[in-house]
Amino acid sequence: MIKNKYLILRRLTQIGLMTLYFGANAWGWTFITGNLSSSLILGTIPMSDPYAVLQMFAAGAIIASNVFLGALVAVLLYGIVGGRAFCSWICPVNIITDSANYLRRKLGFNQIQKRQPATRSMRYWVIGLSLIISVGFGVTAFEFISPVSMVHRGIVFGMGFGWAAIVVIFLFDLFVLKNGWCGHICPIGGFYSIIGSFSLIRVKHQEEKCTLCMKCKEVCPENQVLFMVGKSSEQVLSGECTNCARCIEVCDDDALNFSIRDLINQKTKGDEL
């Protein structure tokens, strides 16, 4: 069994997608065209970032039917596999932040206790602020400054400001705040976490197998979602889970695995309340 199989699959997916986008621009490939905000798969299936579409709607733009359909396809897809799977399996910025967090652990920065300069709720405030600005100025506010778009455009069309985005995010996550950009500020991750609240694919913890080594919490970019570790057997139901599977890979006790959301037990508990 390959120890880091999910990490390898994630990197292959991210690099593979960026290669396809680059190939579409450089050599005219048609498997997937466009960008992470709006794409067309095989010249037929539209995919749109629902957060970008929401900003367009707030700005007063007329939404084309294919763009609206693409947003609906994305909501349905990520509503099944987990909204923030976009963050860990698709977004190129994830490679940058994972690298910074890996270096943080190796340098022992995570052991240094200090006041955090941001809370995880900030990303939801950024969502609200971006929509207010979009309404007030008639523009897709976050799209103009999105590091995700900068990095993606840099990979496809040539770096330019993409390098600045990479350096700033890497240094911020390394020296200032663990998982700072993705876990505390990025509104795209915040928006997908809302979608992910309804997803069917979940990580499940089995308390009877857990030996409290806490390796899972050490590597998890959203370790607050693993509050049940060593305490109870239950699924991770928080939409903030990225379904990156790092917790599953580092668990030597096989106490964490993917599962399908247990809707029956949830309904039973809801009826009891």
> How many angstroms separate the CA atoms of 143 and 157, rounded?
17
Which tens digit of pLDDT belongs to each residue from 182-200? 999 999 999 999 999 999 9
- The phi, psi pair for 47, rounded to 5°, reads -135, 125
Residues 72 and 169 in one domain: yes
Say what the pLDDT of residue 264 is.
59
Instruction: Decide which of 194, 220, 238 is a domain's last residue.
Output: 194
Q: Is there a single domain that holds both residue 15 and residue 136?
A: yes
The share of the chain scoring above pLDDT 70, in percent, equals 93
What the block records as the tokens of 233 is 């057997």
Query: b/e string for 140-179 if b means 16 or more Cβ within 10 A?
Result: bbbbeebbbbbbbbbbbeeeeebeebbeebbebbbeebbb
* Overall domain count for the chain: 2
Mean pLDDT of the chain: 90
pLDDT band at 273 (very low <50, low <70, confident <90, very high): very low
**Distance of alpha carbon 50 from alpha carbon 10, whole angstroms:** 22
Mean pLDDT of the region 92-108: 92
Q: Give the closest residue to 244 by CA, choosing from 1, 8, 20, 10.
A: 10
pLDDT at position 108 is 84
Q: How far apart are CA 217 and CA 208, in angstroms?
A: 17
Query: What range does the domain containing 149 cover?
Result: 5-194
Mean local confidence (pLDDT), 153-177: 85
End residue of a domain, out of 194, 210, 240? 194
Is it the case that residue 159 has pLDDT exceeding 90?
no
Q: Is there a single domain that holds both residue 119 and residue 212? A: no
pLDDT category at 249 given cuts 50, 70, 90 is: very high
Cα–Cα dist 31/41, whole Å = 6
Residue that is written with structure tokens 């991750």 in the block: 189
What percentage of the chain reaches a pLDDT higher than 90?
72
Do both 79 and 212 map to the same domain?
A: no
Task: Please report the pLDDT score of residue 114 as a whole number.
Answer: 63
Which of 169, 194, 219 is the last residue before a domain boundary?
A: 194
Is there a contact between 91 and 14 (Cβ–Cβ < 8 Å)? yes
What torsion do the CA atoms of 186, 17, 103, 203 make, to the nearest 10 degrees? 70
Sign of CA dihedral 102, 3, 239, 228: negative
pTM of the model: 0.89
pLDDT score at 160: 72
- Indicate if 146 and 208 belong to the same structural domain: no
Q: Are 13 and 252 in contact (CB under 8 A)?
A: no
- Stated as kind and residue range, the H or E segment containing 65 is helix 65-81
